[in-house]
Amino acid sequence: MDARSLWLILAIVAVSKSTGVAPRLKLNDGKEIPALGLGTWLGFTKEGTRVPVQGDEVENAVQWAIDAGYRHIDTAAIYNTELQVGRAVNKKIAEGVIKREDVFITTKLWNTRHAKEDVVPALKESLQKLNLTYVDLYLIHWPISESEDQKFLDIDYVDTWRGMEEARAQGLTRSIGVSNFNQAQLERLISLTNSKPASLQIEINLNLQQPDLLAYCKRQGILVTGYTPFGSLFSDKTTEEVPPPRADDTSLVAIAQKYNKTVAQIALRYEVELGVIPIPKSIHKKRIEQNINVFDFELTQEERDVLKAFDKNYRVIAATHWKGSPHYPFEKN
Ligand SMILES: NC(=O)c1ccc[n+]([C@@H]2O[C@H](COP(=O)([O-])OP(=O)(O)OC[C@H]3O[C@@H](n4cnc5c(N)ncnc54)[C@H](OP(=O)(O)O)[C@@H]3O)[C@@H](O)[C@H]2O)c1
Ligand SMILES: *[C@@H]1O[C@H](CO)[C@@H](O)[C@H](O)[C@H]1NC(C)=O
Ligand SMILES: *[C@@H]1O[C@H](CO)[C@@H](O)[C@H](O)[C@H]1NC(C)=O
């Protein structure tokens, strides 16, 4: 081997160590989705309002993510981050780092746009903010329908789905799916429409592993995207009453040390091994790089059993203010 080829190989090894590559999984409509993505919701403040976007923080996060190897970005109309996601993606396309078809963009229809004829206009507004001609996946964000002044409306999500199908037929999105639907709602949607969501996006983390819903989706060929993958791991983001584990849990730390990984990476890897597509959010470069670096090791069955035992059916996102809706998807007690 000459010096130049050796240098090239070393360079490739160095790059592949500092960036991550998530394998692509096949959706039931034949399209492909990368097995991990970047979340771009900034969360709630202590007062329960949405954290406002500051400066270019999301645009920077998405650029760092693409440089680190992410090819899947999750946003939503309600997050108010579509503009910055779009700027970052278009910048990386202009720089030649990616082509549009290399990156999988998900956005979501908000509760106030559930009328069938509202879906296409709502997606067009998102596309304008994203500065894209299509998204890869459009999701009904919640089965719940509300008016602008936050009164529950009696719009059936099956009607909303007809609007989603129209959006796909117009080429505005490649795939369509739903978020925060329970199994009964999925069954009803599938039986009444004779079509299947490409993906279900739900909360999945150590405290909320939802084995029955995952098994149902597997039988139906619906890939599950897992939101809030860190659950209540980080003490600064949770309160004492919330069930453990935290990131300093001794059994988690032991597993992390064995693989020279962080506890955050162990939580993400576990989800990947459950067949779930995690979409961790961070606006910090080092964490963004760390979070996709989970495809070079595998947990043992014994370790998976330890992680499984943390399941308590405890939700971070219980959306209890929507309990009054006829389509509230979660347990009401
Ligand atoms: N469909 C839905 O209804 C729904 C609901 C909730 C979320 N989502 C989607 O899912 C995404 C992820 O969920 P999420 O944002 O609720 O929670 P998450 O990704 O589980 O946690 C995000 C928090 O963890 C911190 N963090 C990230 N990586 C870390 C690391 N390696 N070490 C330590 N701390 C780390 C982040 O802080 P920094 O940013 O400061 O690093 C942030 O505060 C959202 O952004 C959104 O795209 C969807
Ligand atoms: C929108 O995208 C196009 C094509 O990628 C790009 O030339 C243009 O600068 C973008 N506009 C904005 C406002 O980002
Ligand atoms: C452990 O991981 C860190 C961060 O990825 C890396 O810099 C270091 O070289 C690794 N150590 C070993 C022994 O692999």
pLDDT tens per residue across span 302-328: 999 999 999 999 999 999 999 999 999
The label of the residue with tokens 């964000």 reads 141
3-state secondary structure of 60: helix
- Cα–Cα distance, 234 to 188 (Å, whole number): 37
The residue ranges of every structural domain in the chain are 17-322
* Tokens linked to 9: 């190989």
Q: Which of residues 7 and 322 earns the better pLDDT score?
A: 322
Q: Enter the DSSP assignment of 53.
A: P
Environment class of residue 293 by beta-carbon count within 10 Å: exposed (0-12), middle (13-18) or buried (19+)?
A: buried
* Domain 17-322 classification at class level: alpha beta
**SS3 assignment for 114-163:** CCHHHHHHHHHHHHHHHCCCCEEEEEECCCCCECCCCCECCCCHHHHHHH
Ligand closest in space to the Cα of 293: 3
N-terminal to C-terminal alpha carbon distance within the chain: 67
Residue 68 CA, ligand 1 centroid: distance in Å:
17
Which one has a higher pLDDT value, 53 or 6? 53
| Smallest CA separation from ligand 2 atom 4, residue | 90
- The neighbouring-strand residues paired with 178 are 140, 200
Residue 309 near residue 68, CB atoms below 8 Å: no
How are beta strands 223-227 and 32-34 bridged, if at all? unpaired
Output the CA 84–ligand 2 centroid distance in Å: 12
Pocket lining: 43 vs ligand 1, CB cutoff 6 Å: yes
Each residue's pLDDT tens digit, 40-84? 999 998 888 899 999 999 999 999 999 999 999 999 999 999 999
152 has a pLDDT exceeding 80: yes
- State the pTM of this model: 0.95
> Which ligand is nearest the CA of 85, by number?
2
**CA–CA dist 239, 264 (Å, integer):** 18
Least trusted range by pLDDT, from 16-20, 21-25, 128-132, 238-242: 16-20
